[in-house]
Chain A
Amino acid sequence: MKTMSRFFFLLWGIAFAFGLYGIIMKFMTAERLAGYGSYVPWGLWIAVYFHFIGIAGGVFAVGTIGYFLNIDGFRESLRVMILVSGVSIACGLFSVWLDLGQPFRALNILLLPNFGSMMAFNAWMYNFFMLAIIAIFFLSLNKNSQADINDRSGWLVPLLALGFLLSIAYPSQSGAFFGVVDAKPFWNSPLLPLLFLGSAITSGAAVLLLIHILLFHDTFNLRHQPYKMLRLTVIGGIIFYFICEFAEFSLVFWSPNSDIREAVELVMFGPFWWVFWVVHLGGAILSVLLLFAGRSDQAVGLGAFIVATTFISARLNVLIPGQAVPQLKGLQNAFHHSRLRFEYHPSLNEYMVAVFVAALAVGLVYIGIRLISNYTSKKIGAAL
Chain B
Amino acid sequence: MSSVPQVKKDELNRRDFMRCAGVVGGGVALGVGAVVSARGSAPPESPMGPATVRKLPEPKTVPVNDEADILVRMQADLRRALTKPVEERRWKMIIDTRKCVGCHACTVACIAENKLPPGVVYRPVMTEELGAYPNVQMRFFPRPCMQCDRPSCTSVCPVRATYKRPDGVVVVDYDRCIGCRYCLSACPYGARTSDYGHYYTDDTPALQAYEQLPNHEYGKSWDRKGHHSPKGNARKCQFCLHRLDQGLLPQCVTTCIGRANYFGDIRDAGSIVARMATKPNFIKLLEEKQTEPTVTYLI
Contacts and interface: CB of A to CB of B under 8 A. Distances in A.
Contact of A339 (B119, B161, B192): B119
B127 A128 contact: no
Given A114-B158, A120-B159, A330-B128, A150 B16 contact: yes
A249 interface: no
Interface stretch (B55-63, B225-233, B260-268): B225-233
Interface in A92-109: 99-103, 105-106, 108-109
Contacts of A116: 35, 38-39, 155
Contacts of B51: none
B229 A109 contact: no
A154 interface: yes
Contacts of B248: none
A267 to B, nearest CB: 18
Given A149-B12, A183-B187, A128 B27 contact: yes
Interface in A6-44: 30-32, 34, 37-39, 41-42
B285 to A, nearest CB: 7
B12 A101 contact: no
The secondary structure that dominates the A interface is loop
B294 interface: no
Interface string A170-196: 000000000011111000000000000
Interface range on chain A: under 10, 10 to 19, 20 to 34, or 35 or more?
A: 35 or more
Interface stretch (A161-169, A270-278, A280-288): A161-169
Contacts, number: 217
Residue among B16, B157, B159, B189 facing the most chain A CB atoms (10 A cut-off): B159
Nearest to B28: A165
Contact of B118 (A105, A155, A337): A337
Nearest to A150: B16
Contacts of B12: 68, 149-150, 157
B193 A155 contact: no
Contact of B37 (A115, A162, A326): A115
A112 interface: yes
A255 to B, nearest CB: 17
Contacts of A114: 38, 155, 157-160
Given A101-B178, A108-B176, A181-B156, A41 B27 contact: no
Contacts of B10: 70, 147-149
Interface in B220-240: 227, 229, 231-234
Contact of B15 (A39, A99, A154, A182): A154
Given A106-B178, A181-B152, 8 more contacts: A101-B231, A102-B178, A120-B158, A144-B9, A148-B10, A149-B12, A331-B124, A340-B121
10 contacts: A30-B231, A39-B190, A42-B185, A108-B178, A149-B12, A150-B9, A154-B15, A327-B190, A330-B141, A337-B119
